[in-house]
A and B are shown apart, each in its own frame.
Chain A
Amino acid sequence: MKALVWHGKEDIRYDTVSDPEIEHPRDAIIKVTSCAICGSDLHLFHNLIPAMLPGDIMGHETMGEVVDVGSAAKGTLKKGDRVVIPFTIVCGECEQCRRGNFSVCEQTNRKKELGDKAFGHTTAGLFGYTHLTGGYPGGQAEYLRVPFADTTHVKVPDGIDDEKLLFLSDILPTGWQAAVQADIQPGDTVAIWGCGPVGQMTIRSAILLGAKQVIAIDCLPERLSMAAAAGAITINFEEESVVERLNELTGGKGPHKCIDAVGTESHVSFGQPDTILDRAKQMLMLENDRPHVLREMIYVCRPAGVISIIGVYLGLVDKIPMGQAMNKGMTFRMAQAHVPRWTGDLLRRIEDDQIDPSFVITTKPILLTVPRCTAPSATRPTGASKSCSGPDPKLEKGGIHVPRKHHWDRPFGG
């Protein structure tokens, strides 16, 4: 089959690989119909996440049709079922799964000893990600083996386009959890850093949860325009001071809830000198992440407020003002999304026309052309908010929006 394969830093290739097979009775094989590119894929593309190996298949926002089912998964899945695959692989049996903490499932990381060493205690297995989380092949391919398939799937009905359902795999529940774990209440002012796809879903979730005032922070006008479309007040941090503007919008008290939808690769600019220092340290491997957003959130958040972190962090961060956080009595909540905890409810909201997540799609490349679109969107996000690929050549590249057309026209590989 064809697949997008990680070969090293900035080196993703459109390779021919062997087909996946059922390896365990709980497995299923799906024929992929759509798979999106995630911000986390860019961290892999930039080789910031350790323990990737050449030959690893990318992709963790996948949906498709079941084409083969292991004997132990036949009670819940059958050939022909249409499924969205959560990026977290869950057993459904361990103590963490029973508590709803699916992203820290105790059983699905097949390289548990690595996870234990890296994190202290293992987290869940993830598709298309580092070997610290199992190194499972991802869904940017024609076929995907789904381990623990009897519990790692969301059955979805026919009659709704892939584009509306695909993001149940990651960014919709991720944005929803960012808002939920901030404990958003009616009357709250919620500030959200980062208007990429996760930030956009977080903005919609905060509004659905009744936040009185949602403030979206980014530097890309097109992303801010998308945030404003949902009713958010926008701050372009390259044009105005985030702290001053947030204080102005909250009567000098700061937002009740601050949400980090940026994570490790925050924007580097001379206007934010700490980001330059972080970038230099990152290059010298003295620091893993660029935590400018964390510092700013802790500083500006209202005392006794909540900091919700959903943007991915990788390892060690420097100069976090714990003195401010402790003295202001902040509550911190963070996690990789516990996807299956929210998908049933969110699917119902999609069916009920409360939200249509397809608004975030700006590019629909076919699988062959994804390496070409990964590269330019990686270093500087260009408002190509979300790309979802389909291996079917019939899915023409026209899509909804194709940025930087010259890349698509250029012969491949050169």
Chain B
Amino acid sequence: MSLVNITGIVRSEGDPHIEDKGPSSLTGADRLARALGWFSIGLGVTELVAPGRLARALGLDDKAGLIRAYGARELASAIPTLSVDKPVGLTARIGGDVLDLGTLATALHRNNPKRGNAAIATALVAGITLLDIAAYAGVKAAHRREPGSDRNYSERSGFPRGAQASRGLARQDFQIPADHRAEGMVADGLPTLVA
């Protein structure tokens, strides 16, 4: 449900309206990260709500508690993944993927009758891991500086007359307005104290 529906806030009638949508600041990596964040929420809720069913499907009957804990981890990583701090969330997701793969590996032995399910889950998690890594690389690249692009603005004083000559220049013709004054001492108000 949109904010408009919830709050009743609407744009004013005379304001310019969109005639044609143009290119967006959102990158492909941003969109992928967002999708992975929502995926985390979906998986996290499932793991929290039905850990026993998942455990049985994978032949990991004794690991329902662990799967529930993984659900909490998924939700915790979803929050930063959906925020502007995507690299933090995606790093957490990649770490979680490694844990998931490690846990699933214990279900791939020949004696597990659900080995087929575990193999499919392993393949899915491996694929998701690749997407997590791709999203992480994409969002990090958007904020990376080119090598050798260090900047130095030590020539930009903003004072055409020079920094030293500018110190106190405004005091010649500017008084702090009365409603912005905060200085003063008790002695200013009670001159007899210091007389």
Contacts and interface: CB of A to CB of B under 8 A. Distances in A.
Interface of A: 1-3, 5, 7, 9-21, 23, 45-46, 51, 53, 55-57, 99-100, 110-111, 114, 131, 135, 137, 141, 180-186, 200, 204-205, 207-211, 221-223, 225-226, 228-231, 268, 279, 283-284, 306, 331, 333, 345, 349, 353-357, 359-360, 362, 371-372, 374-376, 378-380, 382-383, 385, 401, 403-407, 412-414
Nearest to B10: A53
B3 A53 contact: yes
Nearest to A214: B167
Contacts of B12: 110, 135
B190 interface: no
A5 B181 CA distance: 41
Interface stretch (B56-64, B114-122, B127-135, B150-158): B150-158
Given A11-B26, A15-B19, A229-B156, 18 more contacts: A18-B17, A19-B16, A55-B15, A55-B17, A180-B176, A180-B180, A181-B180, A208-B169, A229-B157, A231-B167, A333-B182, A354-B159, A359-B157, A385-B153, A401-B151, A403-B149, A413-B24, A414-B28
B25 A372 contact: yes
Given A20-B16, A225-B152, A231 B157 contact: yes
B22 A14 contact: yes
Interface stretch (B45-53, B65-73, B93-101, B140-148): B140-148
A106 to B, nearest CB: 17
Given A13-B25, A208-B166, A182 B182 contact: yes
Interface centre among B11, B24, B84, B180 (most CB of A within 10 A): B24
A141 B171 CA distance: 39
Interface centre among A15, A23, A131 (most CB of B within 10 A): A15
A272 to B, nearest CB: 15
A131 B80 contact: no
A357 B158 contact: yes
B173 to A, nearest CB: 9
A404 B145 contact: yes
Contacts of A208: 166-171
A83 B20 CA distance: 29
Given A131-B9, A226-B153, A356 B160 contact: yes
Contacts of B158: 200, 204, 229-230, 355-357, 359-360
Contacts of A3: 16
Contacts of B22: 2, 13-16, 413
A53 B157 contact: no
B152 A51 contact: no
B23 interface: yes
B18 A229 contact: no
11 contacts: A10-B26, A51-B3, A183-B176, A183-B183, A226-B156, A229-B153, A231-B164, A375-B26, A404-B144, A406-B146, A413-B22
A379 B16 contact: no
B39 to A, nearest CB: 18
B4 interface: yes
Nearest to B15: A137
B168 A375 contact: no
A230 B164 CA distance: 8
Nearest to A46: B84
Contacts of A357: 158
Contacts of A378: 84
Interface string B166-192: 111111001011011111000000000
A231 B24 CA distance: 40
A9 B10 CA distance: 18
A270 B83 CA distance: 19
Contacts of B170: 205, 208-210, 349, 354
Nearest to A228: B154
Nearest to A130: B9
B30 interface: yes
A222 B145 CA distance: 13
A11 B25 contact: yes
A331 B180 CA distance: 11
Contact of A376 (B11, B19, B142, B183): B142
Given A209-B168, A210-B168, A375-B142, A222 B14 contact: no
B110 interface: no
